[in-house]
Amino acid sequence: MSLQSLQSYLCERSGWKDPKWLFSCCLKTGIPYEICFTKFMSSSLNQPLCFGSDCIKANAQSCGECIQVAEKCGWCTDIDFLKQGESKSARCDELQSLITKGCTKAKIENPRGSTSINKNKAVTNRKKDMAEKLKADQITQIQPQKLTLNLRSGEAQTFKLKFKRAEDYPIDLYYLMDLSFSMKDDLENVKNLGTDLMREMKEVTSDFKIGFGSFVEKTVMPYISTTPARLLNPCTSTNNDTCTSPFSYKNVLKLTENGKEFNSLVSKQQISGNLDSPEGGFDAIMQVAVCGDAIGWRNVTRLLVFSTDAGFHFAGDGKLGGIVLPNDGKCHLENNMYTMSHYYDYPSIAHLVQKLSDNNIQTIFAVTEEFQPVYKELKNLIPKSAVGTLSSNSSNVIKLIIDSYNSLSSEVILENGKLPEGVSITYKSICKNGWVGTGENGRKCSNISIGDEVSFEIAIKSEKCPPQGKSETITIKPLGFTENVEIVLNFICECECSKDGKPLSEMCHNGNGTFECGACRCNEGRIGRLCECSTDEVRTDDLDANCRKDNGTDICSNNGDCVCGTCECKKRENPEERYSGKFCECDNFNCDRSSNKLCGGHGRCECRVCICDANYTGSACDCSLDTSTCLAANKQICNGRGTCECGVCKCTNPKFQGPTCEICPTCSGVCAEHKDCVQCRAFDTGEKKDTCERDCSYFNLIRVKDRDKLPQPADQSYPLSHCKERDANDCWFYYTYAVRNHTEREVYVVDTLECPAGPDIIPIVAGVVAGIVLIGLALLLIWKLLMIIHDRREFAKFEKEKMNAKWDTGVNPIYKSAVTTVFNPKYEGK
């Protein structure tokens, strides 16, 4: 990839106008552009290669501020860590960068989050046929039950939840029925529901309770007729049936284990009537959800069966009756009757969802075919709810309830309470058959049978500390179940070393700050590394004069800011590059380079001067003092024919080459010396044929087609030998031998042998025959061409004579037609 295309890509990807910082980084590390680009591609845009550290950019002034920037940030508590000109915020950096700068691991404050389990009762393995029956509060379906998380900003804490659907789990079912006049035939079928449903539910659980409630509508106009006669019997105008007075909601039977009592009380119920088609069922659902004591809800599976053949009123519809107060979501039952329907509006769908969820109630909408689309849309808004098709007379209600219960109980959906500001949570589900869900699907598992066990991996992360760093508690629970997991969140907002801080320390300029974690945390109104300045003094001319080197005009050499008369050097995008010095006049990145490496990779840059490692010298530390690389095979430096300079031989005799001046391409005997190896590698013949791979791999072999392709001495900048050798078959082969760059041996060889040979009769005979045939064909072609030319000339002569014989055409030669034909020159015949 070219430099231009790489820069264009970086601009497009990152939005930067000048991505040259990347190339500066590549130059510093010596990485080729293509490799550097690959590393950039494989890194995140938040942490690209050589990108500025978020820890440094945060400008943290204390250890507590530092650890809240990101989980990768640490704080160096070493008192002597900072160099002259560096600000306190330089103590906050990535761990490896701090170590590189000279801070030992023991001096780096880097607290980590943790997870501890406080309550971990195992899930219950319960069978329905067991002799010992457990109470609902003795059954555990989710594990663990309580955890404590210590959260550091940016660091997620992950834990695992296990859920197992218990067998023979108790169930409370409350049947809420629409008793408007259109449900008259349905009431007859529900009268025996108690005992029949009890019998069917025994197959599911041995601990089952059932209750009954009914609803009609708000008792105000225009929902009902308020004339005295219609208030007593709202059905008088349509038929002679006797109906009970209109009511909003009535709790007929509290949850009970007695199915016969259910049948008895339901049998006594009478239908009622109202004026409009939608019913006031939402008022009834709200009261059933919030009036737990009156309904008799236990901490078990709670099912609410809502049976109707009509639509519903919701928040805002109460204005038709002059009711404007929003529903307060509280219980208002007196003598098992809802008494505030005329005072409070219908609840909204969101309000119902909240209350049903808070009270762990799963709703089954048993509605007729006509209203299926409406209630299916409502189901999508209410978690853990189901819709079943009710026959016109409710004869299928038991099957509907059983099927809906199985559908609801086969799915577990996790829900968490309100999260504190800055805290996020993610879910990952591991369901049956190894199915894994993430995102919103990570909250749930479906098709769970009794006894099946599923698990969830939950990660909680905090992006910042709450005010005063107070602990928070959240809950996670499976929707429709009474059990939940309590999670206590503790936030790591300060470092451990801050506990040992010394307020009003003398180390902080006469007690103007607290000395903690190796640095001063200044009191309000004070700034500076040692809190030596008041905020009112920061920009005075007298203080700025202390930041000018040699009374010059540049403040802090234009590489820093003057704070309290002291230079605080600027920070670079690359965290490894730093300005330093009293006037920020020094840096560690503007030294000489060699092989695209700072100080040749053999030293360190201090104040723009390379400090070389041992055995290296030069302005870029690129000159090695080690002579071992110059020793020849005879143990002489450069074979006695050169000098060793910076670890490299400089041959004084131009005939000799190589890293140790031992190679002489033009010396006599070169061709004979390499003949056998060239012969075996190029033609697989010769004396070294069997040992070729072992003995003859010391040069690069390049094949050419003919002798003209061999390199010529005049075209080369290094000595070259032309060789002509004969093999055992008296065939000649040609090659050149040279040493390129003093080290690389190179052989060009003509890949065909030049062998003497006698005349070949067959080609000669074939050539003669072919020549005769070709000559014959050529003569035939010439004769044919001459005949064609002759015929064309005769035909042209005939045509000319025919044109001249105008008197023989049978037309008057002086006749002119009266019609003139004109052709449009623009017409193209289309």
Across the range 636-653, mean pLDDT stands at: 83
pLDDT value of position 11: 42
| 535 contacts: CB under 8 Å, gap ≥ 6 | 525, 526, 527
Across the range 350-377, mean pLDDT stands at: 92
DSSP structure class, residue 325:
B
- For the chain, give the longest Cα–Cα distance: 140
Buried-exposed string 156-168: b where 16+ CB fall within 10 A, e elsewhere: bbebebbbbbbbb
Note whether 531 and 513 are within 8 A (CB).
yes
Q: What is the spatial distance between Cα 657 and Cα 638, in angstroms, rounded to a whole number?
A: 10
Kind and range of the H or E element at 6?
helix 3-14
pLDDT value of position 830: 53
Answer with the residue of higher pLDDT: 759 or 520: 520
Given pLDDT bands bounded at 50, 70 and 90, which one contains residue 285? very high
pLDDT value of position 455: 93
Per-residue pLDDT reduced to its tens digit, 401-434: 888 888 888 889 999 988 998 899 999 999 988 8
Q: How far is CA 792 from the centre of its chain?
A: 84
Answer with the residue of higher pLDDT: 626 or 486: 486
SS3 374: helix
Given pLDDT bands bounded at 50, 70 and 90, which one contains residue 362? very high
pLDDT value of position 762: 85
Buried-exposed string 189-201: b where 16+ CB fall within 10 A, e elsewhere: bbeebbebbbeeb
pLDDT value of position 47: 41
Across the range 628-643, mean pLDDT stands at: 81
Q: What is the spatial distance between Cα 260 and Cα 255, in angstroms, rounded to a whole number?
A: 13
Angle at 287 between CA 283 and CA 288, to 5 degrees: 115
Q: Give percent of the chain above pLDDT 70.
A: 88
| 576 contacts: CB under 8 Å, gap ≥ 6 | 97, 100, 588, 589
Q: What is the spatial distance between Cα 792 and Cα 399, in angstroms, rounded to a whole number?
A: 106
Q: What is the mean pLDDT of the chain?
A: 83
Tokens of 427: 């879910």
Across the range 66-84, mean pLDDT stands at: 89
Note whether 101 and 81 are within 8 A (CB).
yes
Across the range 616-631, mean pLDDT stands at: 87
- Would you say residue 293 has pLDDT above 90? yes
| 6 contacts: CB under 8 Å, gap ≥ 6 | 33, 37
User: Among 734, 786, 602, 747, which Cα is nearest to 665's?
Assistant: 747
Q: What is the spatial distance between Cα 256 and Cα 102, in angstroms, rounded to a whole number?
A: 75
The radius of gyration of the chain's CA atoms, rounded to the nearest angstrom, is: 49
pLDDT value of position 121: 92
User: Among 276, 478, 272, 439, which Cα is nearest to 360's?
Assistant: 478
